[in-house]
Amino acid sequence: MRSVRAGEPQASPTGSEGDPGPGKGPGVLFLVSTPIGNLEDITLRALRCLREVDWIAAEDTRHTAILLRENGISRPMISCHAHNEHQRTPQLVARLLAGEKGALVTDAGTPGISDPGFLLARAARAAGVRVEVIPGPSAVLMALLASGLPCERFCFLGYAPAKGAVRTRFLTDALSAGRTTVLFESPHRIHRMLEELAGAAPDREIAVCRELTKKFEEILRGRADDLARELAGRTLRGEITVVIGHRREGEHA
């Protein structure tokens, strides 16, 4: 990738040189990563993109309005969340095909990663619309690095199922992996998960990462059984990411 020197002319951050632009061909859909907590984590490229697009499709327009207001950005917003994305997708694709540039954001992190976004991105690509990703903060990568566990090879499993056999299989897969595993869990079920992990693999090293980048950020590391006992009497709130160490040779799990 060619570096750009200070003062050198640059292409628009919302497109490549020679982009046809609005009204002259298919538009562009930008998948824009936004802060997972601390608003200062927004990138310069993301801010320029949000300033230049014709509209912003947001998981929660009220939440995104805070980010936009903090950075002096005023753009039309459209709600696009898990409950209406099937209805919104054809409408937004039609606007992109008409030449508009749109940005898709979720409440935190990258659209499509355990959040709405995949459906619209897939439909846009299928229709011939260019889809660009604006990278940014990631709870998965931050928790992985903060855990202190090996991170040269890892897998991400998304949100743990709430109950039943599917949850049991999910945790079995997480414990059986020969690499570090990252997953999301609800604060209402984190104590149950710790008990399940401790029962199946008490010596397994894990990290519980809570409220990453926020005021009350907390990262707890230790053996599964020790953390289960330590947190048994506590009420944990906020977004929780769990990192599970890989299965050791000879370990039964």
The whole-angstrom separation of Cα 53 and Cα 28 is: 9
Is residue 35 within 8 Å of residue 108, measured between CB atoms? yes
Cβ pair 63, 120 in contact under 8 A: no
* Torsional class of 95: left (φ above 0), alpha (ψ -120 to 50), beta (otherwise): alpha
Q: Which amino acid is at 78?
A: I
| Domain 28-134 is found in CATH 3.40.50.300 | no
Can you give the pLDDT at residue 251?
62
Half-sphere exposure for 216 (CA within 13 Å, toward CB):
7
Q: Does domain 139-244 have CATH number 3.30.950.10?
A: yes
pLDDT value at residue 26: 77
pLDDT beneath 50, residues of the chain: 1-11, 15-24
So what's the pLDDT on residue 169? 95
Q: Which pair of structure tokens corresponds to residue 220? A: 């707890």
Quote the pLDDT of residue 2.
43
| Residue 148, pLDDT score | 96
List the domain boundaries for the chain: 28-134, 139-244
Cβ–Cβ < 8 Å for 127, 93: yes
State pTM to two decimals.
0.83
Question: What residues contact 235, with CB distance under 8 A and at least 6 apart?
Answer: none
Give the pLDDT confidence score for residue 1 in this predicted structure: 44
